[in-house]
A and B are shown apart, each in its own frame.
Chain A
Amino acid sequence: MSSARTHGGELERGGAADHALRIEHLEVAFRIGRRERRVLSDLSLAIRRGESYGLVGESGCGKSTVALAATRYLARNGRVSGGRILVDGQDLLSLAPRELRRLRARSVAMVYQDPGRALNPSMRIGRQMAEVFEVAAGLGGRAALERAAEMLARVQIASPERVLHNYPHELSGGMQQRVVIAMALSMNPALLILDEPTTGLDATVEAEVLELIARLHAELGNSILFIGHNLPVVARVCDRVGVLYAGELVEEGPAASVFADPRHPYTVGLLRCIPGYGTSKNQGRLETIPGFLPSPGSSGGQCVFAERCANATGRCRSEAPPPVDLGGRLSRCFYPERAPALPRQGATPEESRAPPVPRGGAQAAQGGGPAAPYAVSDGAAPPILRTRNLSKTYRVSGKPLQAVKGVSLDLWAGETLGLVGESGSGKSSLAKLLLGLAAPDAGSEVELAGEPLPALADERGFEQLKSLQIVFQNPGSALNRSQTVRRLIGRALRLAGLFGRAREARLRELAASVRLTPRHLDEKPRQLSGGLKQRVGIARAFAGGPRVVVCDEPTSALDVSVQSAILNLLVDLQAQQGVSYLFISHDLNVVHYVSDRIAVLYLGRLLEIGPAQAVFAGPHHPYTAALLSANPGLENRGRRRIRLSGELPSALNLPSGCVFHTRCPRKLGSICEREEPPLAPAGARHAIRCHIPAAELGAARPAAAPPQDAPAPGG
């Protein structure tokens, strides 16, 4: 074995190494407690020079471990138990410390999530960037700083000199990520590793960063290893793609073909789970992948996906399939040709061959297009929830911060109003106001079922509390970790006035309605997966039979395959009980799927509100247009992106007139700076807040905006 290894090593070193990264049969294990768990098994992949490779997978699949292994930066309890890694032609695992440092300085660079933390908070940007040149190229102070400024200009930061003097906390998230990217590319490394670089960034910022990466890739020609869980994002940036499941590479190939014509049941399932652009709940349920992720290293001797695969045969459960070469693609499956015909999970077995049944009932079955929302009136009946002039101003060191400004909206029984907005839009503040967790400004009115609603939760009666509930974003923090599921839901049933046997009966009913088994009732949150925890949260919200449920990013913290099951559940509950949802999310496809109507928030102001299809198709507000164009939907790849100029203004210093005018690509002129536009009608139950009349808004798109400005001083 060892002779073969050195032989291969010599070959690589001797000849022209045309791979920036070559991983061969890599095995990585972590010591957790007293046991060793295998996190990566028999992983082999190769990235040519100049190629961009995307590694996708859900949480726990091991993709970040690949990145850390490729830089030899595994945690203390991790080790490489087998295989080889060749970076820029050098055998990574056998390098001496000095050679390793040289490799890190010159040949490989890494960019990861949360750029703010990747920068040293007590060092100026210039100093941190200059370090790279000092180490790798031996440049001195002045020269290094000049090169640093050059790199900053390259990542489209205007006034690089100013930024060099800044500290990291003085820059916005997007700017910080640019700096980190500039630092990574300073020495033009052979391999650039990006580990979830845009997770946590707003959609518009994310789109900019991705474009930047693509452009630099084209200019500089380094190889890219892009790690992510968001398939459309990866598809945009990468030539080839690898799908990782439970530590094994189950499929690999050119990005376009893998996503258009997947050849592994897992990839098929994953792609089906994502709500397509423009689909709605009325067209049918979302696909799910049944079962659960195996714990790392637990499935030896069989196909790692067999437990959850509808195509699985006895062979799959007794033998581990080797990678099968399909001509430029590979799939770790015994039956890759059967993958596209994987039976759909959303429908019952009898319907598995029939097309998905639309949910709109008779109305929907008639028309060819998306059905009209069911159980929703045409606006004649009184709304179940109504807000007028809802505002919230916080005080931050004496200065007013207007989080929500004059939001008036109506929500009817049985419908879902989607709320879209990026960070700083005020959507979470709005949720808090509705629920009574924060006190609104004077002049705000909220009515529930026709009755005025007291501002704070402590002032509301049980009936009111029952009727307006919430499902939180983070299931981990939403459940009291010291209580069992039975207690968690049980305490909510107190609100419904149920005790003793009636309570127990209702408890079981609720648990069943969210697909929890009785066994789960006695478990504590830490024993449950994210999806299960979220189901408990949903059961709790529905305990009192609510009329309105605020869903605050209920699936953002969950994996794609789990997300679709939860969304299906929410929609089912709505159909059964006629409950209304205020659905907050940053994911436009999810919002469109779930919502009947959509509202768009920006800096606390309602910019647009209308039926989901109308808001998506147009005419719509320029901000909505930009958001939609930033959406990296898989079908979206041909679209030109609308770029917004400037940075998000600080909420402490709101722009005068229209809040969007500082970044609007269709700004009319000084009127936008002086006067705030009213909400003008733009179709049936559709309103847009813009000075430009609706008819003109639907017109052709403008040209791209000029490059980024430097950050305003003071952040």
Chain B
Amino acid sequence: MSALSASAAPPAAAARSRAAERLHAALRSPTLISGAAILGFWILCALLGSRITPLDPYADDLLATLAPPSAAHWFGTDQLGRDIFSRVIVGARDILIVAPLATLLGTVLGTALGLAIGYVRGALDDTVSRVIEALQALPLVIVALMALAAVGTSNVTVVLVIGFVFTPLIARTVRSAVLIESELDYVAAARLRGDGTLAVMFIEILPNVLPIAVVEMTVRLGYAIFFVASLSFLGFGIQPPSADWGIAIAENYSLIGSYWWTVLFDAAATASLVVGVNLVADGLESVFET
């Protein structure tokens, strides 16, 4: 028996699968937990919406405009007398739909593109990489402004524009990973089995770059929220009458001198959301590192 199993490996240290290990590590990471808590809170708010707000977020009350925080209105009221607290609660909804969709679009397209140019290389890689490099010369917000000015702004166009804007960035990261994988011998072994280009890309290489794509996605999600919020503030993102925080800030920041509550709470909410997402991304990154 011993001759048969010469130089056999010792039995795997624990019967745990990779996934179980990761889950365990995830549950122990303080950043991941706190981030998930914050994110979870806002998702809940977005889902339950008006059902959990003390007052109707869309109800005007022209007699009580710009009222400071009080027992009746915990966060005060805005220019139209609407309760800011309620508006803050429901303000997460649009951004929590638009940003993840845009990120998903960008990740899917970016991964596919990165796979293609990283594996096939040649003229395709040269041209696409050059174009990506050229586009990198422009700050994303400028690109988005140009595109949205041209096609008009709506939730759909915002998702599409941000998705397309993210695609080259993610493609670049995926491409680097794919370049490394392509050098490994198992890819050559697949070619020698007669596997075609698509099979090699998606069956052999993709499973190994997927963790990187997932991490990229979570990191980009934070940035997507940042981006959508900024665009909303500029008027090129989510459109009124949504209670989105960016819009609220845009509408009210000229009043900041005397009516600070009209902007501060929305600002804090935005900050907490992006920080929460970022903590989750950070936690996931360290979990996937092992």
Direct contact of A and B (CB under 8 A): yes
Q: Spell out A's residues near B (CB within 8 Å).
A: 288-292, 294-295, 345, 435-437, 457-458, 460, 462, 465, 469-470, 472-474, 477-483, 491-492, 494-495, 515, 517, 523, 527-529, 531-532, 540, 561-562, 565
| Cross-chain contact A477 with B193 (CB below 8 angstroms) | no
Closest residue of A by beta carbon distance from B2? A290
> Considering the chains assembled together, what is the distance between the CA atoms of A472 and B183 in angstroms?
13
Q: Name the residue among B5, B7, B8, B183 with the largest chain A CB count within 10 angstroms.
A: B7
In the assembled complex, which residues on chain A have CB atoms less than 8 Å from the CB atom of B123? none
Q: B8 contacts which chain A residues (CB < 8 A)?
A: 291-292, 517, 529, 532
A477-B184, A478-B186, A480-B186 in contact; A469/B9 too (CB < 8 A)? Answer: no
Contacting pair B6 A458 (CB below 8 A): no
Contacts A469-B192, A472-B185 given: A482-B208 contact, CB under 8 Å? yes
Contacts of B138 in A (CB 8 A): none
Assess whether A479 is in contact with B191, with CB atoms less than 8 Å apart: no
B185–A465 CB distance below 8 A: no
Is residue B241 contacting chain A, with contact meaning CB distance below 8 A? no
Say whether chain A's binding surface is mostly helix, strand, loop, or mixed: loop
Assembly CA distance A478 to B186 (angstroms): 4
B201 to chain A, nearest CB (A): 13
- Inter-chain contact A457/B2, CB cutoff 8 Å: no
Our count of residue pairs bridging A and B at CB distance below 8 angstroms stands at 95
Given contacts A457-B192, A565-B7, 6 further A-B contacts (CB under 8 A): A288-B3, A435-B188, A469-B192, A477-B185, A478-B184, A491-B195
Counting chain B residues whose Cβ lies within 8 A of the other chain, the interface size class is: 20 to 34
Q: Looking across the interface, which residue of chain A has its beta carbon closest to that of B196?
A: A458
Residues on the A chain within 8 Å of B191, using CB:
437, 457-458
Q: Write the chain A residue with the least CB distance to B3.
A: A290
Which of A465, A527, A528 has a CB less than 8 Å from the CB of B193? Answer: A465
Quick one: closest A residue to B183, CB to CB? A477
Q: In the complex, what residue of chain B is closest to A515 when comparing beta carbons?
A: B4
Check if A292 sits within 8 Å of B2, measured CB to CB. Answer: no
Q: Could you list some 5 contacts between A and B, CB below 8 A?
A: A290-B7, A469-B192, A477-B186, A482-B207, A527-B12
Nearest CB in chain A: distance from B16 CB, A: 11
A290→B192 contact, CB < 8 A? no
Q: Beyond A495-B193, A527-B12, is A561–B185 a contact (Cβ under 8 Å)?
A: no
Which B residues lie within 8 Å of A472 (CB)?
185, 188-189
User: Quick one: given A480-B204, A482-B208, A523-B12, are A288 and B6 in contact (CB under 8 Å)?
Assistant: yes
Q: Is B122 interfacial (CB-CB < 8 Å)? A: no
Complex CA–CA separation, A510 to B8 (angstroms): 17
Inter-chain contact A495/B194, CB cutoff 8 Å: yes
Q: Are B7 and A562 in contact (CB under 8 A)?
A: yes
Q: Compute how far the CA of A605 lies from the CA of B96 in the bound complex, rounded to whole angstroms.
A: 65
Kindly identify, within residues 189 to 243 of chain B, every residue whose CB is under 8 Å from any CB belonging to chain A: 189-196, 204, 207-208
Q: How far is the CB of B183 from chain A (nearest CB, A)?
A: 8
Question: What 0/1 readout, one digit per residue, does chain B (175-190) give for beta carbons within 8 Å of chain A?
Answer: 0000000011110111
Q: Say whether A528 contacts B9, CB under 8 Å.
A: yes
Smallest CB-CB separation from B1: which chain A residue?
Answer: A290
**Distance between Cα atoms of A295 and B12 in the complex (Å):** 11
In the complex, are the beta carbons of A465 and B192 less than 8 A apart? yes
- B6/A527 in contact, CB under 8 A: no
In the complex formed, the residue of A with least CB distance to B205 is A480
